[in-house]
Amino acid sequence: MAKLMNAKEYEESLRKLKLNVYMFGRKVENVVDDPIIRPSMNAVAATYEFAHKPEYEDIMTAKSHLTGNRINRFTHIHQNTGDLVKKSKMGRLLGSLTACCFQRCVGMDALNALSITTHAIDAKYGTGYNKRFLEYLAYVQENDLVCDGAMTDPKGDRSASPKKQFDPDLFMRVVEETRDGIVVSGAKAHQTGAVNSHEIIVMPTITMREEDRDYAISFALPSDAQGITYIMGRQSCDTRKLEGMTFDRGNMHYGGHEALVVFDRVFVPWERVFMYREYDFTTQLVENFAAYHRQSYACKVGVGDVLIGAAQTIAEYNGAEKASHVKDKIIEMNQLNETLFCGCIACAAEGHKEPSGTYQNDLLLANVHKQNITRLPYEIARLAQDIAGGLVVTCPSEADLTSPEVGKWVDKYFKTKADVPTEHRMRILRLIENITMGTAAVGYLTESMHGAGSPQAQRIMIARLVNMKQKQKVAKFLCGIDKER
């Protein structure tokens, strides 16, 4: 019987890992308690915490199609469009409760994409990938693990294919085959939640040709497997977390992180290999994963909920909440945010069943949704900054507010209403700063732009998936160019 981990059990499970992590040029000996990394761990822990709350159980958990056991939805394979809709609702819920990236969507999306592709490869070639995958999936579900989906290679020279790179390791590749498995080298970049994960699932990043078959690989490994090194990425205002529990951090509870993950001749046993040189299936795996992950940006709707709440709060603190232009901006923020929610719900509701039994969301609508995500959060953030005023970037520190020498002046001159403490005004401003410019901006704005592929990648998919001939056919019939539909 599977046991859903709680937040404390999740934290303790991370302490057992022997991760090789570097940040600021130094090895991180205690990843769990590091003040810069810790808020991101808290965000993942929240996905365990809320799974135990009765009011969220229907959204946060599901019944395994393998065992019938109750599992965390992040390890679930979608069995119907209802599952896909709940996935979107879960993303918004968690975004609205953490105001950051909670890091588990990419692993969930990798599992679902592989459930489809391994079945398809087996159907064509008679391989045993799907059986391997399902055994791995059962292990993940029964142990309630966090999986980090790793798709993005560094790519090197974008004009050159993997095989033609000046450095062959710029795409993940097989460097040796043994009786027991394969040896791989390369790296995966921008890996969200990498050091908060128990497992890392590697997938190809682009469509491969026959000459690139050594790069057409997918596999899973424990995150602390020998030969894997994590190099933490920097975020704006990240060292504020080293200053202690000051409200200058903005978000006092949660955060996110990304890392460069290096594989230096890492051994992968055959039972953990889900694709090996089947280059003709890389397109399906990449496109299915991308569609799932573009749907996952429902999380940005949740973060938008928090930002809208912060904008309304600072307007009230400033005494500007009744101004017609402020009310109109708040309405617009809500309209834009709900428009984003429409997209992720639509691509879920229009999902379909694949031969594997897994439900895939609608690829066209998923790409349209993500294209909107590259734009509308920036406008929501602009409106929030507009309402907040210039103090969002010129506010003194908490240390100045509490200073025996100048604290009285900060308190006096940044007070607005008699019943609103200056500290409260400064706190909400710091949260707005955090979401629109600070560490959370990585998970709200920059990730909105580049996460799950660049904006151009979505436009290419939209052009490919739209039935333009049918649109033209109807137009020509209605105006009399063609006599038949």
Active site residue 100: no
| 276 assigned to active site | no
Q: At what angle do helices 282-295 and 455-465 cross, to 10 degrees?
A: 110
Residue 147 is a catalytic residue? no
Pairing of strands 228-232, 181-192: unpaired
> Which entry of 65, 76, 198, 293 is annotated as an active-site residue?
293
Phi, psi torsion values for 428, nearest 5 degrees: -70, -30
Catalytic position from the list 297, 317, 359, 444:
297
What is the H or E stretch that residue 187 is in? strand 181-192
Structure-token pair, residue 402 = 């509490």
Burial class of residue 341 in the structure, from the number of CB atoms within 10 Å of its CB (0-12 exposed, 13-18 middle, 19+ buried): buried
- Among the options 299, 344, 347, 395, which is catalytic? 299
Catalytic residue among 199, 258, 278, 287: 258
342 noted as active-site residue: no
- Asked if 395 is an active-site residue, the reply is no
Q: Which of 118, 192, 205, 313 is catalytic?
A: 192
CA–CA dist 239, 27 (Å, integer) = 17
Q: Does the annotation mark 299 as catalytic?
A: yes
Selecting among 75, 98, 100, 101, the annotated active-site residue is: 101
**H/E element, 149:** strand 147-150
Residue tagged active-site, from 100, 105, 344, 395: 105
* Full strand arrangement of the beta sheet holding 21-23: 26-27, 21-23, 228-232, 258-269, 181-192, 173-177
The enclosing H or E element of 333 equals helix 324-349
- If you ran DSSP here, which 8-state letter would residue 85 be given? H
The answer to whether residue 229 is catalytic is: no
Helices (H) and strands (E) in the chain, counts: 19, 14
**Rounded to whole angstroms, how far apart are CA atoms 451 and 299?**
12
Please give the Cα distance from 64 to 432 (Å, whole number): 39
Give catalytic residues, as residue numbers. Answer: 101, 105, 192, 258, 293, 297, 299, 447
